[in-house]
C-alpha cells in the first residue's frame, strides 16, 4: 500500500518555499518540529527558535514559591506531632544557625522521625506519600526527565501510567508547580505530585545516576537568544533531529532532541540575575524571621 502524501506548511512566514509553486508544498514532512510547529529546514528552524527563545528571560533567577500553605510548624502543632515548646526550640536552633529547614531541625533535635515529617509534608500540600518500594516503574519514569532538572528542583519521577499518560512526580521539600507544568508541556502528559522523604529522594537520585540514560549535556546559557537558537540548531543538525521540545525549568532551559536513533537532553543554565540593592540589617532580620516561620 503506498504511503499517504500529506501537506506540510513551514511555520516560518519568511520561508522561501512558502512563496514557491504550490506543487512544492505537497510532500511528506521531513523538516523539524519545534514545540508543535513544523519548519522545513535548519534555517527556518533557527528562525523559529529565535522567536521562541525571545520570550524567555535568559538571566532569570528561580522564583520563590508563594507561601499560601499552612506553615509546617503550625500544622504539626495542630495535629499533635510537636508541642509549642518543641516548635520554639526548633525555630530557635534554626534562627541561631541561619541554615537548614524547620523540619530538618525537628529531626536533628530528636523531636520527630523522618517518616513523621514526610507525613506532615503530605498533609501540608494535600498530596499522597509515595513509598518507592511499592512501585516497579521508577526505572522507566526516571528516563523521561533529565537528572539535572531533578536535582535542581529536588524531585524525581517515580511512576508512569501509560493508559492515562499520568506521571507521578515526588518531592521532598514542597511541591514546585513550575516544574510540573514544564514536564506536562514537554512530554504531553498529566502530572500527579506526591511526597517522599529526603532519604528516599537521595536514594532515588543515586539509583538514577547508575542507569543507562539518554544523553544529557549541561551548558551555560548564551547571553542572547540568537546565539541560543544557533546553538540549538547545531545540536539538532548533528543529531538529525526530527522533533525538538524546549521549556523553561527552575534555573535552566530544557531542550529535548528526538532523532531517528535516540533522544537526548540539553540543559542551558540561566545567567545569574544582577544582585539587588543591599537591605538594611534590621529589614534583613525581619525578613529572616518571617521566612523561618514557614519552613
The pLDDT tens digits of the residues spanning 65-96 come to 555 578 888 999 998 999 999 999 999 999 99
Q: pTM of the entire structure?
A: 0.80
Rounded CA separation 62/75 (Å): 27
The pLDDT tens digits of the residues spanning 179-204 come to 999 999 999 999 999 999 999 999 98
Q: What is the pLDDT of residue 27?
A: 53
Q: What is the pLDDT of residue 7?
A: 52
What strand order describes the sheet that includes 190-195?
A: 155-161, 166-171, 190-195
Alpha-carbon Rg for the chain in angstroms: 23
Give the orientation angle of helix 281-292 with respect to helix 84-97, to 10 degrees.
140
Per-residue pLDDT at 272 exceeds 90:
no
Fold of 127-214: GMP Synthetase; Chain A, domain 3 (3.30.300)
Per-residue pLDDT at 111 exceeds 90:
yes
Per-residue pLDDT at 286 exceeds 80:
no
Enter the DSSP assignment of 134: G
Q: Which three cell numbers stand for residue 278?
A: 543591599
H helices of 81-224, where? 84-97, 102-108, 114-125, 138-142, 147-153, 177-187, 198-209
Q: pLDDT tier at 246 (50, 70, 90 boundaries)?
A: very high
The pLDDT tens digits of the residues spanning 49-70 come to 999 999 888 766 555 555 557 8
The pLDDT tens digits of the residues spanning 14-58 come to 887 765 544 444 454 579 999 999 999 999 999 999 999 998 887
Q: What is the pLDDT of residue 140?
A: 80
Rounded CA separation 159/196 (Å): 13
What is the biggest distance separating any 2 CA atoms in the chain, rounded to whole angstroms? Answer: 80
Amino acid at each position: 500500500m503506498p504511503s499517504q502524501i500529506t501537506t506540510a506548511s513551514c511555520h516560518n512566514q519568511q520561508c522561501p518555499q512558502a512563496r514557491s509553486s504550490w506543487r512544492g508544498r505537497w510532500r511528506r514532512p521531513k523538516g523539524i518540529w519545534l514545540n508543535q510547529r513544523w519548519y522545513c529546514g535548519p534555517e527556518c528552524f533557527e528562525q523559529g527558535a529565535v522567536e521562541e527563545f525571545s520570550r524567555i528571560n535568559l538571566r532569570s533567577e528561580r522564583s520563590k514559591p508563594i507561601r499560601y500553605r499552612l506553615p509546617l510548624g503550625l500544622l504539626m502543632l495542630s495535629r499533635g506531632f510537636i508541642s509549642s515548646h518543641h516548635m520554639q526550640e526548633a525555630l530557635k536552633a534554626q534562627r541561631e544557625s541561619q541554615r537548614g529547614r524547620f523540619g530538618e531541625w525537628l529531626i536533628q533535635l530528636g523531636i520527630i522521625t523522618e517518616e513523621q515529617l514526610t507525613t506532615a509534608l503530605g498533609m501540608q500540600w494535600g498530596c499522597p506519600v509515595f513509598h518507592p518500594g511499592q512501585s516497579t516503574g521508577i526505572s522507566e519514569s526516571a528516563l523521561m526527565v533529565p537528572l539535572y532538572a531533578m536535582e535542581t528542583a529536588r524531585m524525581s519521577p517515580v511512576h508512569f501510567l501509560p493508559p492515562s499518560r499520568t506521571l507521578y512526580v515526588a518531592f521532598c521539600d514542597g511541591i514546585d508547580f513550575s516544574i510540573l507544568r514544564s514536564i506536562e508541556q514537554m512530554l504531553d502528559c498529566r502530572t500527579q505530585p506526591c511526597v517522599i522523604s529526603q532519604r528516599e529522594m537521595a536514594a532515588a537520585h543515586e539509583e538514577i545516576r547508575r542507569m543507562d540514560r539518554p544523553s544529557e549535556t549541561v551548558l551555560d546559557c548564551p547571553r542572547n537568544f540568537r546565539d541560543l537558537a544557533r546553538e540549538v540548531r547545531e545540536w539538532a543538525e548533528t543529531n538529525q533531529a526530527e522533533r525538538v521540545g524546549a521549556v523553561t525549568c527552575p534555573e535552566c532551559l530544557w531542550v529535548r532532541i528526538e532523532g531517528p536513533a535516540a533522544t537526548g537532553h540539553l540543559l542551558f543554565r540561566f545567567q545569574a540575575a544582577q544582585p539587588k540593592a543591599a537591605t538594611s540589617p534590621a529589614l534583613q532580620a525581619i525578613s529572616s524571621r518571617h521566612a523561618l516561620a514557614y519552613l
